[in-house]
């Protein structure tokens, strides 16, 4: 092969002008990309129609995010742990005394105890954990309470952290061994 024909062959392979077949496949690829994008967008947006159903269905992974669309009451119920010292001062007790896991997980465990009317069992469990503390604010606690409070969220986030109402679900002493 002569160097002239080799140069022409090289130029044909490296030409900046795409061949006609390449143009068609490029247009086909762009149309396919547009179609797949539109289908993806429609699939992601499809759960929105659940907002207008009488009994909407929420399903993973496609959700219409009901936690943002349900109308909520201004009051929120929350169960928590409180310790009382010798002067009946309230000392908040960390959720870690009630169970293992993250805060939301333990909060659900506390609610489960309360909902099953087993606040006394939770109180005893927490009381034993508090009894082991020999220093810090937990060492001042003489009794433990499992409390359910109702909070007005608008007031709470405006700075008024006091509950609208509270109900003591269970109360028990902290027994420390000498």
Measured CA distances, 147 to 8, 110, 114, 121, 129 (Å): 88, 10, 9, 13, 18
- Contact at 8 Å (CB) between 172 and 123? yes
| pLDDT attached to residue 25 | 82
**CB under 8 Å to 91, separation ≥6 — which residues?**
82, 83, 84, 85, 137, 138, 140, 141
Question: Can you give the pLDDT of all 178 residues of the chain as single tens digits?
Answer: 555 565 565 565 555 555 556 777 899 999 999 999 999 999 888 887 877 878 877 777 777 666 666 677 789 999 999 999 999 999 999 999 999 999 999 999 999 999 999 999 999 999 999 998 878 888 999 999 999 999 998 899 899 999 999 999 999 999 988 7
Which helix (H) or strand (E) covers residue 14, if one does? none
For the chain, percent helix, then strand, then coil, each to nearest 5?
A: 50, 20, 35
pTM of the entire predicted model? 0.62
| pLDDT attached to residue 121 | 97
| pLDDT attached to residue 2 | 58
| pLDDT attached to residue 80 | 96
| pLDDT attached to residue 106 | 95
| pLDDT attached to residue 30 | 93
| pLDDT attached to residue 50 | 79
């Amino acid at each position: 092969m002569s160097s002239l024909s080799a140069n022409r062959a090289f130029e044909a392979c490296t030409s900046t002008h795409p061949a006609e077949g390449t143009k068609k496949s490029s247009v086909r690829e762009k149309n396919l990309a547009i179609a797949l994008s539109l289908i993806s967008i429609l699939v992601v947006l499809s759960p929105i129609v659940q907002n207008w159903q009488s009994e909407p269905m929420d399903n993973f992974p496609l959700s219409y995010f009901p936690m943002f669309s349900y109308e909520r009451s201004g009051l929120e119920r929350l169960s928590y742990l409180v310790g009382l010292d010798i002067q009946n001062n309230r000392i908040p007790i960390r959720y870690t005394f009630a169970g293992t896991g993250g805060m939301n997980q333990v909060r659900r465990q506390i609610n489960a105890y309360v909902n099953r009317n087993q606040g006394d069992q939770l109180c005893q469990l927490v009381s034993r954990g508090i009894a082991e503390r020999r220093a810090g604010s937990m060492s001042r606690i003489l009794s433990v309470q499992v409390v359910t409070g109702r909070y007005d969220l608008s007031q709470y986030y405006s700075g008024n952290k006091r509950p609208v109402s509270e109900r003591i679900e269970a109360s028990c002493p902290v027994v420390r061994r000498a």
